[in-house]
Amino acid sequence: MAGRAEVLSLLFVLLSAQNVAPQGITDEQQAWDFIWDYNAKAEKVYYDSVVAAWNYNTDLTQENSQKQVKAFLAEAQFGKEVAQNASRFDWQNFNNATLKRLFHSISSLGTAAQQDQAKLEELNNILSEMDNIYSTGKACEYDDPSNCLALNPDLYSCLASSRDYDRLRFCWEGWRDAVGRKLKDKYSRFVELTNDAVSQDAQNWADTGAYWRSWYDIADFQEQLENLYNQLKPLYNNLHAYVRKKLREQYGQDKISASGPIPAHVLGNMWSQSFINIYDLVEPYPNKTSLDVTPKMKADGWTVDRMFRTSDDFFKDMGQVEMPQNFWDNSMFVKPADRNVVCHASAWDFYNAHDVRIKMCTNINMIDLVTIHHEMGHIEYFLQYKHHPVPFRGGANPGFHEAVGDLLALSVSTPRHLQSIGLLDTVEDDNESDINFLMSMALDKVSFLPFGYLMDQWRWGVFNGSITPETYNQEWWKLRTRYQGIVPPVPRNHAKDFDPGCKFHIPANVPYIRYFVSFILQFQFHKALCDTSGHTGPLHKCDISAGPNKAAAGEKLARMLQMGSSQEWPEAMEVITGGQRVMSAQPLVLVDYFQPLITWLEQQTQGEILGWDESWTPPYDCEATEGFTCADGSKCIRPGDRCDGVNDCTDNSDERDCPNKEQEAWDFIWDYNAKAEKVYYDTVVAYWNFNTNLTQENAQKQVAASLAVAQFGKEVAQNASKFDWQNFNNATLKRLFHSISSLGTAAQQDQAKLEEGWTVDRMFRTSDDFFKDMGQIEMPQNFWNNSMFVKPADRNVVCHASAWDFYNAHDMCTNINMIDLVTIHHEMGHIEYFLQYKHHPVPFRGGANPGFHEAVGDLLALSVSTTRHLQSIGLLDTVEDDNESDINFLMSMALDKVSFLPFGYLMDQWRWAVFNGSVTPETYNQEWWKLRYFVSFILQFQFHKALCDISGHTGPLHKCDISAGPNKTAAGEKLARLLQMGSSQEWPEAMEVITGGQRVMSAQPLVDYFQPLITWLEQQNQGEIPGWDESWTPLYDCEATDGFTCADGSKCIRPGDRCDGVNDCADNSDEQYCTVDDCAGGFTCADGSKCIRPGDRCDGVNDCDDNSDEKNCPAASAQSVTVSMATTFISTVVCILLAILN
């Protein structure tokens, strides 16, 4: 397959037209300029998109997934803009056919036509999710769930080499249980989204299937395909009958019916699309030289690199382009050991005319050697058409790309070619050897025909709605039985199973009919090039690279490859075939290639039934195949249906006596925890980097990290929903699942003392000493190494003080002052909390409720702010212990704490109203002025009183320094107990621990704290009005406060409303004379910096920076002097009146 690069081209390399108004641009030279400008931009956009896709496919991480989605969205947006700009041209009436074809291509968008950005993003996210499910799926042994098998190489090997009927069934069924069921719901949503998207394209496609078929530009495409299939059906039926006979001999008549379909799991391939791996069971003449050269490759020490170099030599020998160095440098030839990747072999074009790659998890065997030649055929195509504009960089039709790869593999597979590269010692040139060779080719090629045909028959039915989500699996197996003559080895649960999704091209959304088309084309191309190369003899013996005129054949191939999609595909076919312009199966069946095998098969299948009874299903022993028989004996269900939370037995016995799901849930939690620590760490690092270096790059990385953690959370919540956790017995486990399932999205300053030798480091060390003195955890070394304590001089940062937990430092632009000293203790309180609860699973690493974290920081600051504590650290020489000093201290605390209370309360009152819709965008600001940390202010005083009591403090609460109490150790232990709980229990439990019994919030300790000040304030406020008139607003002088008075004098507007593109003045005067270019009637300053209104010229006020508006002014008239004096007098009177009133 041509890989992700070809899939991406679906967005743009299309065959539909955009309606353009008759008055569109007709200048063809201007159109060419547009095309080459588009091309330069497209190469960059496509390159970025393919790089993102490559990075994800070769390292399946959440971060790479989000980057891939982001790149796809950028590509889609680019395509929309291009199509919109292209619609300005009257290109349908251009004279130049190539130019018309280019515009035809870029004017259609496919799924990128989706106008709803949220839906487009959802579509791409689902594709990424399905890709990940498929690529990371594993089948786990029923008797040992810890032993899980990956598709490549484990399950591939199982299906290819095992001859144990039941073991084959496990490998076949295990893959479908692991992957298909997880994809079903996602795929049905994907279908809705892709159909909705293509319906918005220029051609208003009826569904995605209609859109895909349009690429072939054949009106009766489906009818032609059916005719081609019917031409090939007799050959397949004969092959099927022969293979079925041989399998019956291998497995017995009880498992393989003489007249029924073949069980799908015994054909050597996970999808039964190729029978080549059972060649040893069906070999016509076993005593002849084996054509499976895998043992020879291994014996001779072949390496993956040698396999690729051998393929490169083949192309060079044919006169084609040599693989460039970056191909060898950048490709992925083997499966990495350190990460998950998409192993499905694919070729990649990066659209910059030189970067091409193959991605493949290569094994040392013949099949992979042939596959390498196939994929390198795609690379050759990329390299040969790279000179074209981007829309022409593709196969003449989608089948051409695949046909080129397979065409060359036909030559590579011949015995003479295998001998030429040292993989066969001798070539036996006789009829029996020919039949063996043709059988091997038929097991690979002919067996594929019905599968290649039915894959998109099924999808087209899904896209047009004739196949619904309820019948996905049922209709899939109807088609597979009808066309392929195969059946599932065990009953399928159509309500749950989604077997189509277990084939890569379904979740990856790669159209498949191209492979059927390529099967026809490759033999047409092969015959044509064999004739050109000078080959004589049977077609199946032709190795194009060995013909006497191979150079001419290579030149003809290159001519076709170089065309790309710049002309309609019949033109390209005519170039390579020398005159043919339609697809035909004639060269394949009725003329040469398989004719000797057809004759032989007809002899071998005499007495056999050609075709199959579609109603037959294989018998199986329920319990012997790990199934479960319902207690009432009504039916047997498969292992995947046992204890899955869904009642499949009518008596519900399949969901009884289930293994301890709570142990499985704990395994899930700890697996999640390991992943969460990595994801959260990456996210916090991205936030830290942005907050400590405000660059655009860091901002983008922060957004990407946020999206990644959100996506991770969604997936975790989805997986958690598979557990019936609400009914777990273990309360902690329930709380963990509840957590991960709910996602959403100071005293009077003595500045002089502080400045006497205090440094930022000393301020933090003092805070650390405070916590150590309380028996808390000392700050670790990496806290000192990695925190940002002062504002860097070389970059912008977020200075807002904050504490950071990296789930595995502290951020603050500190100044030497009392406020920052207290803030340090507050933030270090957060750090203490982090350190104390770090042993918990990630969901429990937080405050008992959101207010607890802030309360802990402020609780400790209450002690630090006391005069006695400040004296103990050398910041007060003496402590005046009298009522006046107490009132001063409490006033300073009230100005910080009490003043905050209403603000802390109203902030989220406003937001909650915004979220519930009662405050609308139109009234955001209005409602804000009518009206988390509030909770922490209540809690901190409750905590403070409780710890003061424990510490042995006596006297007024506001004088308590917990760290100075005689029992401070006991207080520290109680604090530590609360911190260590994190959010592992409900917050009233945590409050009870620290307060010794209280389980509700209370403001009484806060009132007790400020009682002396309350009494004093009541005395001071006698005669004052408590509360306020909400209708009062302060007066202000418009122009004196830099406002702008409308020319008609109707109102004053604020400076930010002047020249902002919105008319605030009724006469629009606020939007006049705004720029130098719009200065008609105004005055342009001499330095050209701005335009000013005529009334500001020579008014005695310098409005121009160079004062030019006040130069060369006429003498002031008596009238103007009088007006100026009057204005000054009125302003003075107004100011005096305001002063008196206030």
Residue 375 annotated as catalytic = yes
Name the β-bridge partners of 187. Answer: none
pLDDT in tens, 640-651: 888 877 888 989
Name the β-bridge partners of 637. Answer: 628
What is the Cα gyration radius of the chain? 39
pLDDT in tens, 297-310: 999 999 999 999 99
- The chain-wide mean pLDDT, for the chain, equals 84
Q: What is the pLDDT of residue 22?
A: 44
User: Under the phi-then-psi rule, with left for phi > 0, alpha for psi from -120 to 50, and beta for the rest, what region is 491?
Assistant: beta
Answer whether residue 897 shows pLDDT above 70.
no
Contact call for residues 985 and 735 (beta carbons, < 8 A): yes
**What is the chain's length?**
1142
Dist CA 430 CA 285 (whole Å): 12
DSSP string, 452-480: HHHHHHHHHHHHHTSS-GGGHHHHHHHHI
pLDDT in tens, 240-281: 999 999 999 999 999 999 999 999 999 999 999 999 999 999
Q: Which residues are annotated as a binding site for Zn(2+)?
A: 374, 378, 402
- Confidence grade of residue 1127 (pLDDT, cut at 50, 70, 90): very low
- Confidence grade of residue 904 (pLDDT, cut at 50, 70, 90): low
Answer whether residue 1132 shows pLDDT above 70.
no
- Catalytic pick from 265, 373, 505, 540? 505
The Cα-based distances of 132 to 126, 145, 182, 336, 341 in angstroms read 10, 21, 11, 16, 9
Tokens describing residue 154? 């484990």
Specify the range with the lowest mean pLDDT, choosing from 189-198, 1088-1097, 1114-1123.
Answer: 1114-1123
Domain ranges of the chain: 627-655, 668-741, 830-1020, 1112-1142
Dist CA 620 CA 252 (whole Å): 13
Answer whether residue 1017 shows pLDDT above 90.
no
- Confidence grade of residue 812 (pLDDT, cut at 50, 70, 90): low
The Cα-based distances of 1077 to 30, 447, 1067, 1085, 1092 in angstroms read 30, 74, 21, 12, 12
Specify the range with the lowest mean pLDDT, choosing from 8-17, 239-248, 696-705, 856-865.
Answer: 8-17
**What share of the chain in percent tops pLDDT 90?**
44
Contact call for residues 20 and 89 (beta carbons, < 8 A): yes
Q: What is the pLDDT of residue 800?
A: 57
- Confidence grade of residue 571 (pLDDT, cut at 50, 70, 90): very high
Is pLDDT larger for residue 3 or for residue 977? 977
| Residue 25 DSSP class | B
Q: What is the pLDDT of residue 878?
A: 77
Q: What is the pLDDT of residue 1118?
A: 36
Closest CA to 517 of 572, 458, 582: 582
Answer whether residue 794 shows pLDDT above 90.
no
pTM of the predicted structure, to 2 decimals: 0.58
Specify the range with the lowest mean pLDDT, choosing from 488-492, 840-844, 915-919, 966-970.
Answer: 915-919
Q: 1026: which residues sit within 8 A by CB, 6+ positions away?
A: none
Question: Which segments within 875-1005 are labelled E, that is strand?
Answer: none
Asked whether the bond before 450 is cis by omega within 30 degrees of 0, the reply is no
Answer whether residue 438 shows pLDDT above 80.
yes
When pLDDT is averaged across residues 488-517 and rounded to a whole number, the result is 94
Is pLDDT larger for residue 100 or for residue 734? 100
Q: What is the pLDDT of residue 222?
A: 92
CA triple 237-243-246, angle to 5 deg: 145
Q: What is the pLDDT of residue 302?
A: 97
Q: Which residues are annotated as a binding site for chloride?
A: 216, 514
Q: What is the pLDDT of residue 1023?
A: 83
Q: Which residues are annotated as a binding site?
A: 216, 374, 378, 402, 514
The top-scoring range by mean pLDDT among 552-561, 827-836, 852-861 is 552-561
Convert 826-851 to b/e letters by CB count within 10 Å (16 or more is b): bbbbbbbbbbbbeebbbbbbbbbbeb
Specify the range with the lowest mean pLDDT, choosing from 170-174, 231-235, 868-872, 879-883.
Answer: 879-883
Q: What are the φ/ψ torsions at residue 47 (nearest 5 degrees)? A: -60, -50
Is pLDDT larger for residue 734 or for residue 422? 422
When pLDDT is averaged across residues 890-895 and rounded to a whole number, the result is 72
DSSP string, 190-219: HHHHHHHHHTTSTT--SSHHHHHHGGG--T
Closest CA to 242 of 539, 442, 523, 464: 442
pLDDT in tens, 366-406: 999 999 999 999 999 999 999 999 999 999 999 999 999 88
Is pLDDT larger for residue 662 or for residue 824? 824
Residue 827 annotated as catalytic = yes
**What share of the chain in percent tops pLDDT 70?**
88
When pLDDT is averaged across residues 109-120 and rounded to a whole number, the result is 91
Contact call for residues 824 and 768 (beta carbons, < 8 A): no
Measured N-to-C along each axis, helices 513-533 and 398-412 cross at an angle, to the nearest 10 degrees, of 50
pLDDT in tens, 118-168: 999 999 999 999 998 998 899 988 877 778 899 988 999 999 999 999 999
- Catalytic pick from 6, 63, 283, 375? 375
- Confidence grade of residue 750 (pLDDT, cut at 50, 70, 90): very low
CA atoms 816, 821, 823, 825: torsion sign = positive
Tokens describing residue 528? 């044509």
Specify the range with the lowest mean pLDDT, choosing from 251-265, 848-862, 1060-1074.
Answer: 848-862
Q: What is the pLDDT of residue 241?
A: 98
Answer whether residue 873 shows pLDDT above 60.
yes
Tokens describing residue 149? 């098998």
The Cα-based distances of 96 to 34, 134, 564, 1083 in angstroms read 15, 46, 18, 53
- Confidence grade of residue 684 (pLDDT, cut at 50, 70, 90): confident
CATH topology of domain 627-655: Low-density Lipoprotein Receptor (4.10.400)
Q: What is the pLDDT of residue 5?
A: 34
Answer whether residue 6 shows pLDDT above 60.
no
Query: What single letter denotes the amino acid at residue 1128?
Result: T
Q: What is the pLDDT of residue 1126?
A: 34
Q: What is the pLDDT of residue 894?
A: 67
Answer whether residue 20 shows pLDDT above 50.
no
